[in-house]
């Protein structure tokens, strides 16, 4: 399969296009968004030079599944998924913060803790924590939503003082975040997984808050395998995990962390295929079903046909 790394469509009623790191978002009229999950892959805020076969289908179908499974908690933007790589939904005005929630101390939070940080986004952290230790209660550690470059950690009070979100609405976002994380944790446990941390994005339309973008995918979330978690934790060993972390680790091992002057290591076809296989494994473990590869004979034409047929209904 030749991965889909760029799109250039002209759909009925199209008004503009936004190309994100991974998704291409087409605006249809004033109220509809068509989001295509391409096979691009990013790490350290850099889009890597080669695409990963079936990655877009994996991400879109996981996100679509979890949007349906959490619609009773908070309304979400999804209206339909007319193609395995596409979600169509309502256009919302995004909040300028991302709601990151952490059940365990790992990743960037752990790296800051090792350097001596004892607070995270204004929340105090106790002494004596160990890597991958579970927090007594999950912590919400929001970030700013950057149009370009890196998102930055920010506290609840800074968000409110800067007028990014009102206190009343922010507290509603907190409630939704805790409830979504609880549901995601329960669904993960059924599959023998631990939902370690994740992020949610919200928007507003007609005075109502909606969950937008993707949810509980391996690009936006970190999962550990439940089996052996405690044993590995007690021994101080690395956890067996499901996330995009394996790509970041490969890049770091080859001298790339997105810094100026660093070069992305060569992504051979064999390497890209191995990443594809990992993403399919992630899908099957998270969803609990066999991954069915969509017909990729003429990917661009298939996507255009499916979206156009949906929009013309």
DSSP assignment of 182-230, as one string? Answer: HHHHHHHHHTTEEEEEEEEEEEEETTEEEEES--S-TTTEEEEESTTHH
| Class of residue 201 by CB neighbours under 10 A (exposed 0-12, middle 13-18, buried 19+) | buried
Parallel, antiparallel, or unpaired: how do β-strands 86-90 and 193-205 relate? unpaired
* Residue 219, phi then psi, degrees to nearest 5: -85, -25
Tens digits of residue pLDDT in 161-172: 999 999 999 999
* Residue 102, phi then psi, degrees to nearest 5: -125, 125
Residue ranges of domains in the chain, CATH in brackets = 14-93+267-312 (3.30.200.20), 94-242 (3.30.470.20)
Residue 54 Ramachandran class (φ > 0 left, ψ -120 to 50 alpha, else beta): left
199, 220 contact by CB (below 8 A) = yes
Give the per-residue pLDDT at 148: 60
Tens digits of residue pLDDT in 248-258: 889 999 999 99
Mean pLDDT by 10 residues, the chain (313 residues): 94 95 95 97 92 96 97 98 98 96 94 95 96 97 78 93 96 98 97 96 97 93 95 94 86 93 95 93 93 92 97 92
Map residue 52 onto helix, strand or coil. coil
Q: How far apart are CA 20 and CA 36, in angstroms?
A: 10
């Amino acid at each position: 399969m030749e991965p889909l790394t760029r799109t250039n469509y002209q759909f009925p009623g199209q008004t503009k296009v936004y190309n994100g790191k991974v998704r291409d978002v087409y605006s249809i009229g004033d109220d509809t968004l068509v989001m295509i999950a391409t096979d691009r892959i990013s790490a350290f805020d850099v889009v890597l030079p080669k695409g990963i076969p079936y990655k877009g289908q994996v991400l879109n179908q996981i996100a679509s599944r979890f949007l349906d499974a959490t619609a009773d908690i908070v309304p979400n933007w999804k209206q339909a998924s007319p193609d395995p790589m596409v979600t169509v939904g309502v256009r919302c005005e995004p909040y300028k913060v991302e709601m990151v929630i952490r059940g365990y101390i790992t990743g960037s939070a752990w790296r800051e803790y090792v350097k001596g940080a004892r607070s995270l986004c204004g929340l105090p952290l106790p002494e004596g924590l160990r890597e991958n230790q579970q927090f007594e209660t999950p912590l919400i550690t929001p970030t700013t939503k950057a149009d370009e470059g890196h998102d930055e950690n920010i506290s609840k009070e800074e968000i409110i003082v800067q007028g990014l979100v009102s206190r009343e609405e922010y507290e509603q976002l907190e409630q939704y975040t805790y409830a979504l994380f609880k549901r995601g944790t329960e669904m993960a446990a059924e599959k023998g997984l631990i939902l370690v941390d994740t992020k949610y994005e919200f928007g507003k339309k007609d005075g109502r808050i909606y969950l937008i973008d993707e949810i509980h995918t391996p690009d936006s979330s970190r999962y550990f395998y439940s089996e052996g978690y405690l044993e590995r934790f007690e021994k101080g060993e690395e956890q067996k995990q499901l996330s995009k972390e394996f790509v970041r680790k490969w890049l770091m091992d080859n001298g790339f962390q997105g810094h100026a002057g660093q070069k992305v290591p060569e992504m051979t076809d064999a390497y890209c295929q191995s990443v594809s296989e990992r993403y399919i494994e992630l899908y099957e473990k998270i969803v609990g079903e066999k991954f069915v590869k969509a017909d990729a004979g003429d990917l661009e034409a298939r996507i255009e046909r499916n979206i156009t047929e949906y929009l013309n209904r």
